[in-house]
C-alpha cells in the first residue's frame, strides 16, 4: 500500500495550479463532491503570491491541497462573509481552506501532513475555516487536527460549522 510518506508535501508553485484546479473540479458539489465554492485558476494564482498553498504530490500528480488566503481575497463571497460574521477571529486571522484530498488518498491523515506544513509558516495567526455540518469526515478530520468549533451559521439554507485554531 502507498503511504503518506511516499507523498511529497510542498509549498505550491504556479505549476501546480492546473493540478489543483483539476482536483477541485472532481470534488465540487455540482459534481457530487463536498466542495462548496469553485475558485478560478486566477484566484489560486493571486492567492499563491500572497499566502501559502500546500500541496501533496504523488508521482507528479496533485493528490491534495490546502489553501490559506488573506481575508481580503474572498471578501466578496457571501459564504465567507457569513463565516466571518459568525466568527471574526483575532490574532491576524486568515481564511483556512479549502482543503481537498483525492478520493483514493483519504483516511490516512494526509490532511495532517499538509496542516503541519502550513502551520509552521503561519505561527501565531488564527486560521478560520468552515465545514458543512453534514460533512462528517471533514468535521472529524478537523477536530483531530485540534481545530475547535468556534461558531455555526446557515447560508442558503445549509448549516455550517466554523472551525478555528491559532497556528
Ligand atoms: C476532508 C478531507 C480533507 C479529510 O482528509 P483525510 O486525510 O482523509 O483525513 P483523515 O485521514 O483524518 O480521515 C477523515 C476521518 O473521517 C472519517 N470518515 C471518513 N468518511 C466518513 C464518513 N462518510 N462519515 C464519517 N466519518 C468519515 C475517517 O474514518 C477518518 O476518521 P478516523 O481517523 O477517526 O477514522 C478529505 O476527506 C477530503 O478531501 N474530502 C473531500 C473534500 C472535502 O470535504 N473537503 C473539506 C471541505 S470543508
Q: pLDDT tens digits for 7-55?
A: 999 999 999 999 999 999 999 999 999 999 999 999 999 999 999 999 9
Q: What is the pLDDT of residue 99?
A: 98
Question: For a pLDDT cut of 70, what percent of the chain falls above it?
Answer: 98
Q: How far apart (Å, rounded) are the C-alpha atoms in residues 155 and 84?
A: 12
Asked whether the beta carbons of 43 and 74 are under 8 A apart, the reply is no
Q: Which atom of ligand 1 is nearest to the CA of 145?
A: 12
Q: Which atom of ligand 1 is nearest to the CA of 130?
A: 48
Average pLDDT over residues 130-135: 97
Facing residues of 166 across strands? 126
pTM of full prediction above 0.75: yes
Sequence ranges of the domains in the chain: 4-166
Asked whether the beta carbons of 56 and 8 are under 8 A apart, the reply is yes
Retrieve residue 103's grid coordinates.
Answer: 478520493
CATH classification (class only), 4-166:
alpha beta
Amino acid at each position: 500500500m502507498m503511504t503518506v510518506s511516499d507523498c511529497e508535501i510542498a509549498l505550491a508553485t504556479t505549476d501546480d495550479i492546473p493540478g489543483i484546479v483539476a482536483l477541485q473540479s472532481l470534488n465540487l458539489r455540482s459534481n457530487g463532491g463536498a466542495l462548496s465554492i469553485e475558485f478560478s485558476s486566477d484566484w489560486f494564482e493571486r492567492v499563491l503570491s500572497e499566502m501559502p498553498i500546500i500541496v501533496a504530490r504523488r508521482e507528479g500528480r496533485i493528490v491534495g491541497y490546502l489553501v490559506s488566503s488573506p481575508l481580503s481575497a474572498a471578501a466578496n463571497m457571501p459564504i465567507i462573509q457569513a463565516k466571518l460574521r459568525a466568527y471574526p477571529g483575532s490574532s491576524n486571522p486568515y481564511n483556512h481552506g479549502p482543503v481537498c484530498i483525492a478520493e483514493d488518498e483519504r483516511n490516512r491523515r494526509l490532511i495532517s501532513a499538509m496542516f503541519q506544513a502550513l502551520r509552521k509558516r503561519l505561527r501565531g495567526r488564527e486560521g478560520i475555516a468552515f465545514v458543512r455540518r453534514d460533512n462528517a469526515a471533514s468535521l472529524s478530520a478537523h477536530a483531530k487536527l485540534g481545530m475547535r468549533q468556534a461558531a455555526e451559521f446557515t447560508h442558503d439554507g445549509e448549516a455550517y460549522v466554523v472551525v478555528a485554531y491559532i497556528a
